[in-house]
Amino acid sequence: MSQSLRPRSGGQVLVDQLLIHGVESAYCVPGESYLEVLDALHDVRDRISLYNARHEAGAANMAEAYGKLTDKPGICLVTRGPGACHASIGVHIAQQDSTPMILLIGQVDRPSRDREAFQEIDYQQMFGSIAKWVAQIDDAARIPEYMARAFRIATSGRPGPVVLALPEDMLTDVVDTVDAPPYRPTRADIGAADLTRIREALSSARRPLLLVGGSGWDDTACRDITAFAEAHDLPVACSFRRQDIVNNRSDVYIGDFGTASSPQLVKRIAEADLLLVIGARLGEMTTKTYTTLTPPVANQTLIHIHGDSDEIGRVYSPEIGIAAAPERVARALRDCRWEQLAERWSEWRRQARQAYFDDISSSDEDGPLNIGQAMMAVRDQLPADTVITLDAGNHTGWAQRYLRYGRPGRQLGSTCGAMGYSVPAAVSASLQDPERVVLAFVGDGGFMMSGQELATAVHHGGRPIVLLFNNGTYGTIRMHQEREHPERVVGTDLVNPDFLTMAAGMGAYTAMVNRTDEFLPALQGAIEAHRPAVIELRTDPERISTRTTITRLRLAKRG
């Protein structure tokens, strides 16, 4: 197909590619190294919303959260050197979380390369181990080629981040070049022979367990896999921070394998005789440092289905390995009717479901503020499409254990355990739909790393509600200290500022919660405020997680 050519700067060509590939939002901290891109974005402000964050890590985390929500690459633009270094955490999150993302970095001009010019970095070396593809565009005429490849790589197979460096003089070059067509991701499919093998393996199972996780699950795929599990009375669990894949209210859902997993669920995976894994990587968090499943050959019959063939057999050698995208697998399984198999494991499923229900219905916390009870009080009152964002830290255990998930509601959390993720992710989610309730769970440590992004929400009209757990300590590390070296606390105590004064200064609604019965009114007030909000929960560091206390850890160490 012929295409008329017109002279364009490299910056204009790049922005035209963003439009061609369907980009509607981008996140940035502006820099002089990509002024031509910013100038070209000025002309398309009605088509691409550009959100300028207060820190490059915040911008990158916003782009990553967008990728999670939409399954389309989140676009982040930063300047060279320090800007790229700050944004690297978002790239690492996108890599470990299998999130489609494209980081565009302004680079030093081409004649200055390899001279340690001002803020110069070799990005292929810097990002080589944490991105799917890293490249530098030295010829403006090839921008359409590079951008089309970036979108395909970010979304195909196992999704992930792509990094492109843009020399500032290349962006000012004027070229005549042909645009690429809109990208299409390459997705592996599942065949009839594969379904037959799965059925045959299930026919021999007495205690099967379905484990779903990873990225690439749209709402339809989530409904399809839930329907398959329900039709076959198959107990299903989710991998770490993927609880929104299966409706938690379904009788087949039995919990998640993550930092807040119940001991009963961990025991159940050891009792299973078949494990059907779809989309999950079987990484360290989901397998509790590779202990619940013994590598390289698990005790259970293992069927591993993943979008990337390289992921199958990386740690565990499955009896059946299939490279296929989760949505393709869910669609194929939805149409299978093997109900006669379910009779042999219906009681197994029922027991697992009851154990899950018991776990989310009890809390042994003491003191005036019982977080478990507070979560139980609100979980059925939250709108069905609520977005929950999770930071790193033990405080997220309350959201993971007590709240319920299922589309259209979402759970967005970094599986690589990055602090400072939750607030920018919540800002990103709220900017996409300000009318949607978005709750960010963050500790006092994590809030001080990215809480300033509330100003970004105020600037652009987002309304995230931040639940700030303030216990005056880096709680997770304090827990590990007390477990390994009781009463030898060092480096984990915090002296915090007045968080609510900070938040109010940025334009947020604020509330303090010291008692359980104060939480629901505070949350209702935040929702009704129609602006960003911070609810500070004063928690006791003695209650170090949903399942233990510092005193119990010390007693256990003493034997």
- Mean pLDDT value across residues 490-497: 94
pLDDT in tens, 311-351: 999 999 999 999 999 999 999 999 998 877 778 899 999 99
pLDDT confidence tier of residue 2, bands split at 50, 70 and 90: very low
Phi/psi class of residue 87: alpha, beta or left (left: φ > 0; alpha: ψ in -120 to 50)? alpha
More confident residue, 120 or 239: 239
Cα-flanking dihedrals φ and ψ of residue 125, to 5°? -75, -40
Name residue, tokens 């005790």.
299
Non-local CB neighbours of 342 within 8 Å, separated by 6+ positions: 231, 232, 233, 234
- Tell me the pTM: 0.95
Q: pLDDT over 90 for what percent of the chain?
A: 87
Name residue, tokens 């978005």.
438
Non-local CB neighbours of 423 within 8 Å, separated by 6+ positions: 58, 389, 391, 440, 442, 446, 447, 450, 451, 453, 454, 464, 466
Q: pLDDT over 70 for what percent of the chain?
A: 99
Mean pLDDT of the chain: 95
Six token digits for residue 357: 């229900």
pLDDT in tens, 183-214: 999 999 999 999 999 999 999 999 999 999 99
Six token digits for residue 210: 């379905």
Q: Hey, which residues does 468 pair with through a beta bridge? A: 442, 536
Q: What per-residue confidence (pLDDT) applies to 186? A: 93
User: Which runs of consecutive H residues, i.e. helices, occur in 103-175?
Assistant: 123-127, 143-155, 168-172
- Mean pLDDT value across residues 117-138: 93
- Mean pLDDT value across residues 22-51: 97
Non-local CB neighbours of 259 within 8 Å, separated by 6+ positions: 240, 285, 394, 396, 397, 400
Strand arrangement of the beta sheet that strand 387-390 belongs to = 410-413, 387-390, 438-443, 465-470, 533-538, 509-513
225 pLDDT more than 60: yes
Q: Hey, which residues does 473 pair with through a beta bridge? A: 493
CB contact at 8 A, 161 and 95: yes
More confident residue, 126 or 2: 126
List the beta strands (DSSP E) in 477-541.
509-513, 533-538
Q: What per-residue confidence (pLDDT) applies to 3? A: 57
Q: What per-residue confidence (pLDDT) applies to 4? A: 54
472 pLDDT more than 50: yes
CA torsion, ordered 376, 378, 384, 385, to nearest 10 deg: -110
How far apart are the two ends of the chain, measured CA to CA in Å?
Answer: 76
Q: What per-residue confidence (pLDDT) applies to 223? A: 97
Q: What per-residue confidence (pLDDT) applies to 1? A: 37
Q: What per-residue confidence (pLDDT) applies to 340? A: 78
459 pLDDT more than 60: yes
Burial (0-12, 13-18, 19+ Cβ within 10 Å), 116: exposed
The helix or strand, by DSSP H or E, that contains position 77, with its residue range, turns out to be strand 74-78
Q: In terms of DSSP bridges, do strands 438-443 and 387-390 run parallel, antiparallel, or are they unpaired?
A: parallel
98 pLDDT more than 80: yes
Report the alpha-carbon distance of residue 350 to residue 147 in Å, rounded: 50
pLDDT confidence tier of residue 417, bands split at 50, 70 and 90: confident
Six token digits for residue 170: 């290349």
- Mean pLDDT value across residues 440-447: 97
User: Which runs of consecutive H residues, i.e. helices, occur in 379-439?
Assistant: 396-402, 422-432
372 pLDDT more than 80: yes
